[in-house]
Amino acid sequence: MTDGLYIHIPFCHQICNYCDFNKVFFKNQPVDGYLDALGEELRMMEDQGIFGEGPLTIFIGGGTPTALSVGQLEKLFDSIARSVPKGRLIEFSTEANPDELTPDKLALLKEKGVGRLSIGVQSFDEGLLRRLGRTHGPADAERVVRDARDAGFENLSIDLMYGLPGQTIEQWEDTLDRALALDLPHYSAYSLIVEPKTVFYNLMNKNLLPLPGEDTEADMFRMLMERMEQKGIRQYEISNFAVDGFQSVHNKLYWQNRTYAGAGAGAHGYSDGVRYSNHGPLKKYMNAVAEGRRPVFETHNVTPEEEMEEEMFLGLRMIAGVSADEFRKRFGREVGDVYGKQIRQLEEEGLLSAEDGRIRLTDKGVFLGNEVFARFIG
208 plus 70 within the same structural domain:
yes
The 10s digit of each residue's pLDDT in 269-290 is 999 999 999 999 999 999 999 9
Which pLDDT band, with edges at 50, 70 and 90, does 20 fall under?
Answer: confident
The 10s digit of each residue's pLDDT in 224-261 is 999 999 999 999 999 999 999 999 999 999 999 999 99
- Given 255, 273, 307, which residue is the final one in a domain? 255
110 plus 210 within the same structural domain:
yes
Identify whether 245 is part of a domain. Answer: yes
Identify whether 281 is part of a domain. Answer: no
Candidates 117, 115, 162, 119; CA nearest to 138 is: 119
- Given 255, 283, 310, which residue is the final one in a domain? 255
239 plus 157 within the same structural domain:
yes
337 plus 226 within the same structural domain:
no
Identify whether 277 is part of a domain. Answer: no
**Comparing 117 with 13, which gets the higher pLDDT?**
117
Identify whether 309 is part of a domain. Answer: no
Q: What is the mean pLDDT of the chain?
A: 96
Structural domains in the chain (count): 2
Q: Report the relative pairing of strands 260-263 and 240-242 from DSSP bridges.
A: unpaired
Q: Domain range for residue 369?
A: 322-374
Q: Could you tell me what percent of the chain has a pLDDT over 70?
A: 100
246 plus 361 within the same structural domain:
no
User: C-alpha distances in angstroms, 342 versus 37, 235, 345, 359, 365?
Assistant: 46, 25, 5, 11, 14
> What local confidence, expressed as pLDDT, does residue 213 receive?
92
The domain that holds 84 is classified in CATH as 3.80.30.20
Phi, psi angle pair for 115, to nearest 5°: -115, -15
193 plus 328 within the same structural domain:
no
| pTM score of the predicted model | 0.96
Q: Could you tell me what percent of the chain has a pLDDT over 90?
A: 94
> What local confidence, expressed as pLDDT, does residue 15 receive?
80
Identify whether 51 is part of a domain. Answer: yes
> What local confidence, expressed as pLDDT, does residue 28 receive?
86
Task: Give the long-range contacts of residues 332-338, CB within 8 A, separation 24 or more.
Answer: 333/308, 335/359, 338/308
64 plus 143 within the same structural domain:
yes
**Cα within 13 Å of Cα(182), Cβ side:** 30
Phi, psi angle pair for 110, to nearest 5°: -65, -45
- Given 224, 255, 286, which residue is the final one in a domain? 255
Identify whether 301 is part of a domain. Answer: no
pLDDT for 214 beyond 90: yes
99 plus 203 within the same structural domain:
yes
pLDDT for 357 beyond 90: yes
User: C-alpha distances in angstroms, 238 versus 88, 135, 162, 280?
Assistant: 28, 28, 14, 29
- DSSP string covering 305-340: HHHHHHHHHHHTTBTT-EEHHHHHHHHSS-HHHHHH
The 10s digit of each residue's pLDDT in 97-117 is 999 999 999 999 999 999 999
pLDDT for 353 beyond 90: yes
Candidates 282, 272, 288, 258; CA nearest to 44 is: 288
Identify whether 269 is part of a domain. Answer: no
Number of H helices, E strands in the chain: 15, 17
101 plus 207 within the same structural domain:
yes
Please give the DSSP secondary-structure letter assigned to residue 67: G
Q: Which helix or strand (DSSP H or E) is residue 25 part of? A: strand 24-25
246 plus 367 within the same structural domain:
no
75 plus 205 within the same structural domain:
yes
Q: Once rounded to an integer, what is the mean pLDDT over residues 308-322?
A: 97
Compute how many other C-beta atoms are within 10 angstroms of the C-beta atom of residue 229.
12
Identify whether 356 is part of a domain. Answer: yes
The 10s digit of each residue's pLDDT in 154-209 is 999 999 999 999 999 999 999 999 999 999 999 999 999 999 989 999 999 999 99
> What local confidence, expressed as pLDDT, does residue 316 receive?
97
Q: Across-strand partners of 119?
A: 96, 158
96 plus 187 within the same structural domain:
yes
pLDDT for 19 beyond 90: no
Which pLDDT band, with edges at 50, 70 and 90, does 1 fall under?
Answer: confident
